Amino acid sequence: MSTPVWETFHRRAQLLHTVIEHIERTGGSRLPWQDVPGLTEVFDTPHQLVLALYQWWETTLGSRIDQALEQDSHHQPASVTTAWAELARAYPGVRRVLDHSAADPALAEALHHEYRLLAVAAGLATTRDRYERAVAAGIDLIDHWRGALDHMSTPPTDHTPDKAAPRRRRSWWWRSAASSA
């Protein structure tokens, strides 16, 4: 027998996937709060929905970064950027909605966390660096490639081996999450 909490969890997940499908199908940049039936029954506000959408993005991105770094830990910035770019290409509507909603204070904070995670995963910052510095490094990483990524299948790489990469890469997600908690 399922509990109301379990049913709510599954209903939220189902609606979130419906929202993602709607966003990708319509190609808009706004949250479809009025366009998807049932949202107001599960999400109290559009703010809650955009945070749930971001949580999906961050979880999916973390998984893709882990895979990319397992495949090529010698070119961390390129691997991380490629993971981000592939996700942004696979879900351009979701990325547009998140970018469009960036003025929401809670989402702005979450996006800064994303940039910090990108910088740490890419080896451009450490968990001991000032938060603002790590965020700036992540923003620079994505901004540097954002235009080029639209025209390329993968970003260009610096093929100089980074001997410290395996040490830095180890458990990057856990270190980042633990230090921000």
Question: Where does the pLDDT of residue 147 fall: very low under 50, low under 70, confident under 90, or very high at 90 and above?
Answer: low
Cβ-proximal residues to 51 (8 Å cutoff; 6+ apart), any chain: 106, 107, 110
> Within a domain: residue 125?
yes
For the cut 60, the answer to whether the pLDDT of residue 157 exceeds it is: no
- Summarize pLDDT for 68-120 with one digit per residue, the tens: 999 887 788 989 999 999 999 999 999 999 999 998 888 999 999 999 999 99
Would you state the pLDDT for residue 86?
A: 93
Question: Where does the pLDDT of residue 2 fall: very low under 50, low under 70, confident under 90, or very high at 90 and above?
Answer: low
Residue type for position 75: H
The CA distance from 40 to 88, in Å, is 27
> Within a domain: residue 26?
no
> Within a domain: residue 31?
no
For the cut 70, the answer to whether the pLDDT of residue 165 exceeds it is: no
Would you state the pLDDT for residue 181?
A: 45
User: Any idea which residue has 């709510």 for tokens?
Assistant: 8
Look up residue 129 and give its DSSP letter.
S
The CA distance from 155 to 169, in Å, is 20
> Within a domain: residue 16?
no
> Within a domain: residue 19?
no
Question: Where does the pLDDT of residue 28 fall: very low under 50, low under 70, confident under 90, or very high at 90 and above?
Answer: confident
Residue 59 structural domain: 46-180
> Within a domain: residue 163?
yes
The model's pTM is 0.76
> Within a domain: residue 8?
no
Domain count, the chain: 1
User: Any idea which residue has 């929401």 for tokens?
Assistant: 104
Phi, psi of 76 (to 5 degrees): -55, -50
What average pLDDT does the structure give for the chain?
82
Nearest CA-CA partner of 74 in 165, 172, 169, 167: 165
Cβ-proximal residues to 119 (8 Å cutoff; 6+ apart), any chain: 125, 134, 135, 137, 138, 141
Nearest CA-CA partner of 83 in 99, 98, 96, 72: 72
> Within a domain: residue 90?
yes
- Summarize pLDDT for 33-75 with one digit per residue, the tens: 999 999 999 999 999 999 999 999 999 999 999 999 998 877 8
